[in-house]
Amino acid sequence: MQILMGFMDFMFFPLAGLLILSIIVEQVIRRVEKWDPYVFPAMAARKFLWQQNILLNVVWFLCFFGLTIFAGRAPSDGMGDPNLLWKL
């Protein structure tokens, strides 16, 4: 699960940047009247990137909360009691 979290952390910023870029491109195309046939592909690209961002964020939150719940039930560390030396 940690590998999946690392991959999702890696993919967040490129997808967010592409989404912002696609919104800007769509708005520029909508402002220019001659580029009317290009609005639909720009809008489709924006919708696709939006869906990918939402999916990535939902999976990230599910993995994060899953790791939090499962890691919270385990002992704090694998070494046992840190005060064991002083109890001898």
- Angle separating helix axes 2-31 and 39-73, nearest 10 degrees: 160
Residue 86 lies in a domain: no
Is 41 among the domain residues? yes
Per-residue pLDDT tens digits of the chain, which is 88 residues long: 667 778 888 888 888 899 999 999 999 988 887 878 888 999 999 999 999 999 998 988 888 888 788 776 655 555 666 666 666 5
Number of domains the chain is built from: 1
Q: Give the span between the Cα atoms of 41 and 43, in whole angstroms.
A: 5
How far, CA to CA in Å, does 3 sit from each of 10, 16, 33, 67?
Answer: 11, 20, 47, 12
Please report whether residue 80 resides in a domain: no
Distance CA 21, CA 87 (A): 61
Q: What is the pTM of this model?
A: 0.66
Return the pLDDT at 73: 62
Model pLDDT, residue 4: 75
Let me know if residue 29 belongs to a domain: yes
Domain that holds residue 31: 13-71
8 domain-assigned: no
Confirm if 17 and 47 have CB atoms less than 8 A apart. no
How far is CA 5 from each of CA 8, 17, 48, 76, 86, rounded to the nearest angstrom?
A: 5, 19, 22, 21, 38
Does residue 1 form part of some domain?
no
Residue 33 lies in a domain: yes
Domain assignment present for 4: no
